[in-house]
Structure 1
Amino acid sequence: MRREIIDYLKFLMGAPFIKGYRLIGETHLHIQYYSEFEEFKSDHPMSEYTKEEFDQYFNENDTLKKLLVGESVRLLRQFSYLECVTIEIKSYDRVVVEVHSSRFILNKYFGFNIEDLSLGDNTWKSMFVDVYLADPAKRNELYEKIVCKFNQ
């Protein structure tokens, strides 16, 4: 795994609750989050994070969708060599939700290249955050485009 990705993962939304990650080949990043606080606490008994903090990410539908949609696209923007980002919320051995963000498909859907968006010139905010993350309808539309699996 590239050090730059490992370092960047620390800044993702819900980063403390990442269960694992791996790079498949050179272009596909797979990230797995916990979906149950009890499993997180079992694996990290000394952690000071509370169930309330955990629930802010994983038991509030809008926040969960922002995490899945926003962070997968943000990783594609940040690392132009990634072609795909999969984020999985996993409860023990059962996948609860999985999104699969393909650069090719998303660039086509957006009508621009994700990797061209920048914090410096504000295009990341104006063309993605304000349009797709701030607007619940657009966020839901994008979520439906990338979600692969959803089990309750």
Structure 2
Amino acid sequence: MRIFSAGVALAAAVTSVAGCSSADESDRTDHNSTSAAESSATATDAPAVAPPTSGELEASLVQLVAPDVDAATKAAAVENGQARLTNLETMTAALANYGAITFEVAEPTVEGETSTADVAIATPRGTAAPSPQTWVLIDGDWKLSDASTCQILAMGQAPCA
């Protein structure tokens, strides 16, 4: 299959795309747009969102590459998902008969509304060395960041434009 060419290509794709993103900071939504007065009032009233576990982050990646999960569901689980809908449809169709893709997610770190974890990706063609992936907190949910989503999509021959 030409979906994923080889484990080495996977590692190269992750590494080469890691520093690139089609979204710049102006594309990111301000996830913390409450005023200072609202923040102090809600900070004492509402519990903080729990940091994600490696299992939760792994589940989000498994869902992203699952051929039996529709692209709209995947789009809802990633930052900037509606803009990536066509890419997600392309990758989902391409992975229909590809085989199992698994992820090993290290313990994540959280800084503000961003969580980062090293992720190793194993496919029928090989395993890529762990590389950092990020998730962002959006409306109380941890979603795969646009940059990390684009890395996965590039490996699935559905790169972000």
TM-score by length of 1: 0.28
Structure of greater Rg: 2
Query: Which of 1 and 2 has higher RCO (CA within 8 Å, sep 6+)?
Result: 2
TM-score by length of 2: 0.27
